[in-house]
Structure 1
């Protein structure tokens, strides 16, 4: 196989021929190649620990189980270019599938386990995976999702107990062939192969597919290794789900298996479990959202543990406020850092521990290999990357980034792709300022997305569900400030005449309705309601979410909302 670009050969600046180097780079510098090296380079070191059972796998054993999984999936018909989808919590099987898919030269595709059946069905219908592995406890939702998708993946497997398995579904262990060859990078693989397909939410609220190449995997790992810094002797625990780009790729399996570190799984966040693990297992890094740190600090103040093994705590998903940062540095560890980014390009700015508390609330400077700019915003076009706002910490523009960690595409979504990617730059829709030191502070979003506990909630999707209730005439969904979750989803509802007259009973009824919806994940439902007679619209008939967002902040302070 050859990857030599004739144009690049023709445009060389000297007579040196880099063809031999390019062959090595493009075929041996893959993520799968890195994992294969570590199965013998660090054969006797621990690769992953099941935080629930305490079971450990060395890198040699990681090679054995993922090699067996490659053989098992291949035996069931999965191969080059196929989608290996899985909807799992942070558990060893997630990590095994992530690696094994690359050994098949297939595409690893983790899915949010919090999705509603209609959202899962949307992904299954569009991706048509060859393999789908799910939580046994979620079989009822998976059954509904497959019915809505009108498509059944050829290979179905579940992890954990499943009292009512789907037809044809097998326990995960049956996918692994005992005694198969250890994990190997696949024949014919290259750094340009699509190796992962992640999902984010678009303007419709339904997930968008984000492709990543093997080179994206490698360069993301490199970025984290340098930023933390992370080495083979580190032990990490993610408090955020691995299906997030900021989970698996932020010192989760992606980074840890690349550098030879140890990962300890945490299926569900519990501050007591995390703190006990730091003290007992000598964890060096824990990673999560600021909401996780708030609960860690509460638990540590209630019952102190020895956290001296920590080299740092890294957060993503929301900025750190000054008072919170000071508290976390005092109670947990002085080494607090914060990253800002997207599913499409991972993190692109990084706020280092040395930047705190002075720059608390900011997103930090551009990461090592990235270019970041804050550009002017126009109604009819996107700004050129050179058309920047003043570096005065006050002028507001859109933050954009150019990163080797991005695949610069959405799968089968040319319209959204054209909106977000321009000439090698990503325009994510966030508004920000920057100062003379190029420290970026994100102040809001061009759209109206609510970010609650690090999760994106699009108001239109929630409004569409509420509109399905017979007693609802209209609604606006937005976010209100919340000390624990950053933002909480709130709904302003216009009832139909003579309906929903009792606010308490009405809030409970709408909460039940949202919980029962197959189109809305439960974490997206409103937590507070206010019943009003009218809502603000523009002259062209568009809802003015920003008006209600401002109102929501006041209404929270005044206690004007009703909680279900």
Structure 2
């Protein structure tokens, strides 16, 4: 399916059924199609056509999705931009993507044709029908967070989106009764593909709640009655830190998805037991259009793993010589299948290093257990080598999360003149909890070998996050360096 036709198909099937809403507006299928057609006309009037790129810099709101479908309707690709980026970062993404126009509600002062929200009300007849487009055409340019260097444009085709949404619909048994509560940012693949496109393709609906706020989240759940949402571990940690008196009605939720970073089994159990919501943890990258493994809704769920490979994807463990390893072997996670990106925009050499013989090299270390469930061991770049011994920070973080008052934990390597590197832990605890570094060190001593224990445990009110909501380890490394 080419998703540019989705608004037309929904309007033809159930014109008055709800499609998408935010805090300001609510669109039925009929109104969504009308808005998309008029926005497509506005883009066409600005000269946007097949093969162009449309940049969209907006907070989470209905107009972002309208502009997305409108760009696809005229045959253009979309690059969504994080609205909190600085001007220099925005300029880089606009220039690197080759965007022809930018849709934004902010005066950016760029040397580029800018389309305001009022300007999206064009003549629907200028672009009345979706173009006859091939599945291999570029659909999305998702830019990586840039923690390992200059942000790169991940090229996702309409074929990638078709495969990924189809897989999600099958895995989660999505249908017309499903309702996604969108809390993740729409400049990221998860928010667009799992949070928006998949439920819309299944005939369901989407509610956009704007920027995540801990104290409003469950009020939205009770008011809107969604059937699922997707979030990152930091969001679950914030919700778990709510006062014990908060006991919301979560009966509408069939499940919740956790991705972007590993979530310790203890934290999953803590959230599920308190709020009565099943969390299925998954694993994927922008380069694989969102997800490649997820714990099943039916059958055995294994908290602490990221589940089983999704349909039509091959997920394997590879050693440094390029040989695939049997269950239990530890090595790099590699992925093949129709969700693998077409490449990094304008970076053929980096694309060739990342996709080798059809396998996408993730840079993550993992292992499969005897039942075929994938466990993430750590990032290759995050591994700490202490006096010749390999230490995986995630193992230490899991030991910290076993403490009932630990909300967030991150372990990084600190330079050491003798050992090369030693682990240092940053921890945030529940409001009102009385926990000392010595308490945490004592707890870790029960489960970790001496060489794995952090040299220091530092307490912070909250750990820094990157724009996607992951704990920002580069920021912690800078903090540690400044302190030294």
TM-score w.r.t. length of structure 1: 0.69
CA shift at 1:114, angstroms?
Answer: 3.4
Match of 2:57 in 1: 87
Q: Distance in 2 between matches of 1:185 and 1:449?
A: 48
- Among 33, 38, 51, the residue aligned to 2:5: 33
CA shift at 1:549, angstroms?
Answer: 4.5
Change (3 A) 1:413 1:121: same
Map 1:101-500 to 2 at 5 A. Answer: 101-136=71-106, 139=107, 142-143=108-109, 146=110, 152-153=111-112, 155-157=113-115, 171-177=116-122, 180=125, 184-186=129-131, 188-201=132-145, 204-250=148-194, 252-299=195-242, 301-345=244-288, 346-353=290-297, 359-378=302-321, 383=322, 387-392=323-328, 395-448=329-382, 483-487=406-410
CA contact (8 A) 1:65 1:182 kept: no
What do the CA deviations read for 1:210-234 (whole angstroms, capped 9, x no partner)? 1111121111111111122211121
Secondary structure, aligned partner of 2:454: helix
Secondary structure, aligned partner of 1:304: coil
CA shift at 1:312, angstroms?
Answer: 0.8
Match of 1:67 in 2: 37
CA contact (8 A) 1:85 1:129 kept: yes
Change (3 A) 1:106 1:179: closer
Change (3 A) 1:108 1:183: farther
Q: Distance in 2 between matches of 1:32 and 1:179?
A: 15
Change (3 A) 1:89 1:449: farther
Gaps of 5+ in 1: 1-28, 147-151, 158-170, 451-477, 493-533, 539-543
Q: Distance in 2 between matches of 1:203 and 1:293?
A: 23
Gaps of 5+ in 2: 385-392, 401-405, 427-452, 461-478
Q: Distance in 2 between matches of 1:201 and 1:244?
A: 10
1:49 counterpart = 2:7: no
CA contact (8 A) 1:195 1:214 kept: yes
Q: Distance in 2 between matches of 1:209 and 1:201?
A: 10
Secondary structure, aligned partner of 1:299: coil
Change (3 A) 1:243 1:551: closer
TM-score w.r.t. length of structure 2: 0.79
- Among 432, 449, 454, the residue aligned to 1:554: 454
Change (3 A) 1:421 1:96: same
Q: Distance in 2 between matches of 1:68 and 1:356?
A: 47
Change (3 A) 1:74 1:182: closer
- Among 58, 61, 68, the residue aligned to 1:98: 68
CA shift at 1:204, angstroms?
Answer: 5.0
CA shift at 1:36, angstroms?
Answer: 1.9
CA contact (8 A) 1:291 1:486 kept: no
CA contact (8 A) 1:369 1:403 kept: yes
